[in-house]
């Protein structure tokens, strides 16, 4: 059998009133129970696939256990197989379906877990998975838009950085050496540039190695420590154009997530708290938490509670107030999510159209400074003859 460890095999056998004679592990290091590093992780694409096919199988009358068994036969990715085996074990032991998702908090968000829990409680899992497929697909589409929009600026920045390293570390020191060894007194401005070139020519590799180690350390701290993540986004969030984009991303997440939770039948106060953790924005997340604890829990309507929070634009507050009175809150939230998705795409294009000339001007300025520092002494030298 496929199992995470020997204890799982023993529980499975004992649950059927059997006693094993021997248990032998035959999986290699990359198999079940192997090193997690080599198993990869459950990606957003995997979540979409699981949600789509579980919803489809449940809709046609397949039991959960049968659906998981079918998926186990088709999935080859170790991380997903591990998860599916955990689901199957939980179902065979009579545990709730959603508990398997709770054991993978790094792969499945609190929103996903609570939606599955609500769907299992209400007997509406097929519709929940269908809604999850739609919302996750939109989330993936938005992330792909952001990634594709940033490809060119990142490529331009990386190329510019490599060109500057070559100029400052290799080309400039050699040019400066020609003037200094020739006994020619270069202008003060040129001597400063040449001094920088000599420094990088001698210690350039140290600087490069230091920068690489700094990047690796920053990535490690970002992935492992929530406090460092908050600090990074706090610094990034102070940049005017970026702050506007981050706010729109948070509002899009709020509308999409809150709509899904309401549609699943989760109580407003609880849905707001779950959404506050999902938006990834300090001000909007705090506002949602206050709306839940100090508004809904104390008897205010949703529209009244939102009116008290300045973190949300006036348009969002008015739409929620109107939609609540009309009983169409989920539909209006879906419309808001689509609207902000378009706004994010437009803002990204504006940011990129601003970044491209700035990067080009910066690189051109550095190259121009180096060129002037070389051309001026050459001109002075030739004018002496």
Core vs surface per residue 196-225: b (16+ CB within 10 A) or e: bbeebbeebeeeeeeeeeeeeeeeeeeeee
Picking from 250, 241, 246, 233, the residue whose alpha carbon sits closest to that of residue 350 is: 241
* Structure tokens belonging to residue 186: 């270069």
Distance in angstroms (rounded) separating the CA atoms of residues 255 and 242: 20
Say yes or no to pLDDT of 35 above 50: no
Q: What is the pTM of this model?
A: 0.72
pLDDT score recorded for residue 291:
92
In the prediction, which pLDDT does 122 show? Answer: 84
d(CA 85, CA 201): 57
**pLDDT grade for 227, boundaries at 50, 70 and 90:** confident
* Domain 136-385 falls under CATH 1.20.81.30: yes
pLDDT (mean) for 104-112:
87
pLDDT in tens, 245-278: 888 989 999 999 999 888 888 888 999 999 988 8
In whole angstroms, give the CA distance from residue 113 to residue 99. 8
Q: In angstroms, what CA-CA distances link 18 with 86, 232, 249? A: 21, 55, 54
Q: What are the residue ranges of CATH 1.20.81.30 in the chain?
A: 136-385
Asked whether the predicted pLDDT for residue 30 surpasses 60, the reply is no
What is the mean pLDDT of the segment spanning 82-105?
Answer: 87
Q: Residues 62-84: what's their mean pLDDT?
A: 85
Average of pLDDT values for 85-90?
87
CB atoms within 10 A of CB 356: 13
Say which DSSP state 168 is in: I
Extract the runs of DSSP E, i.e. beta strands, from the chain: none
Q: Is residue 190 over pLDDT 80?
A: no
C-alpha distances in Å from residue 85, one per residue of 1, 23, 33 = 10, 18, 11
What pLDDT is stored for residue 27 in this prediction? 54
Looking at residue 289, its pLDDT comes to 92
């Amino acid at each position: 059998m496929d199992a995470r460890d020997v204890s799982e095999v023993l529980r499975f056998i004992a649950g059927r009133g059997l006693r094993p004679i021997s248990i032998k592990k035959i999986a290699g290091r990359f198999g079940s129970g192997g090193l997690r590093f080599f198993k990869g992780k459950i990606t957003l694409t995997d979540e979409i696939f699981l949600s789509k096919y579980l919803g489809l199988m449940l809709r046609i009358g397949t039991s959960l256990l049968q659906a998981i068994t079918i998926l186990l036969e088709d999935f080859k990715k170790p991380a997903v197989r591990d998860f599916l085996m955990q689901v199957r074990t939980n179902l065979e032991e009579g545990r709730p379906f959603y508990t398997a998702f709770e054991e993978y908090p790094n792969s499945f968000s609190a929103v996903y877990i609570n939606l599955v829990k609500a769907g299992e409680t209400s007997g509406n899992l097929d519709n929940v998975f269908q809604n999850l497929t739609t919302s996750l697909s939109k989330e993936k589409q938005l992330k792909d838009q952001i990634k594709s929009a940033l490809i060119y600026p990142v490529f331009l920045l990386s190329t510019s950085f490599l060109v500057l390293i070559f100029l400052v570390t290799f080309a400039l020191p050699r040019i400066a050496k020609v003037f200094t060894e020739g006994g020619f007194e270069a202008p003060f401005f040129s001597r400063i540039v040449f001094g920088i070139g000599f420094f990088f020519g001698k210690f350039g590799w140290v600087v490069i190695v230091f920068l690489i180690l700094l990047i690796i350390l920053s990535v490690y701290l970002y992935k492992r420590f929530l406090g460092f993540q908050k600090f990074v986004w706090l610094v990034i969030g102070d940049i005017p154009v970026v702050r506007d984009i981050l706010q729109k991303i948070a509002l899009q997440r709020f509308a999409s997530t809150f709509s899904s939770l309401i549609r699943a039948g989760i109580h407003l106060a609880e849905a707001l708290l779950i959404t506050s953790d999902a938006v990834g924005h300090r001000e909007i997340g705090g506002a949602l938490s206050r709306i839940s604890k100090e508004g809904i829990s104390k008897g205010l309507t949703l529209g009244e509670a939102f009116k008290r929070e300045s973190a949300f634009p006036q348009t969002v507050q008015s739409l929620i107030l109107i939609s609540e009175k009309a009983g169409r809150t989920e539909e209006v939230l879906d419309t808001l999510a689509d609207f902000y998705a378009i706004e994010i795409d437009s803002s990204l294009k504006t940011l990129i159209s601003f970044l491209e000339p700035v990067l080009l001007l910066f690189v051109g300025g550095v190259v121009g400074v180096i060129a002037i520092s070389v051309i001026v002494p050459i001109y002075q030298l030739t004018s002496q003859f």
